[in-house]
Amino acid sequence: MAFGALDAARTALGLRVPEDVSIVGFDDVPMAAWPSFALTSVHNPVDGIVTTLMGMLERRLAEPEAGPVLHRPAPWLVRRGSARL
């Protein structure tokens, strides 16, 4: 969605990014780092999340009566050229 918004802002609306409008994406896919996009994006630590979830699943299988576990992975902002922050 952010790539489409970035393209529409630049081409269809004639806006300057980030001078006229800031655009921020989510999930920080590799394409966000391409120079033609330079999309500022929220990065979620997917590899760490998967590792944690697998550990939680293994624990649940080994200890079915174990209590719940709360895990809050911390996302972070990857600053690139599409937003003034």
Average pLDDT of the residues in 78-84: 96
Averaged pLDDT, 43-52: 94
19: domain range?
2-78
Residue with tokens 């806006």: 15
pLDDT for 51 beyond 90 = yes
Report the domain count for the chain: 1
What confidence score (pLDDT) does residue 4 get? 96
| Residue 71 forms part of a structural domain | yes
Query: Does the pLDDT of residue 48 top 90, yes or no?
Result: yes
In a domain, 64, yes or no: yes
Q: What are phi and psi of 77, to 5 degrees?
A: -95, 125
Please give the full DSSP string across 6-61, using - where no structure is assigned. HHIIIIIS---TTTT---EEES--GGGGSTTT--EEEE--HHHHHHHHHHHHHHHH
Residue 65 covered by a domain? yes
Please compute the mean of the pLDDT values over residues 7-23 and round it to a whole number: 97
Q: Would you say residue 85 lies in a domain? A: no
Q: What is the pLDDT of residue 85?
A: 82
Assign 1 a pLDDT band (cuts: 50, 70, 90). Answer: very high
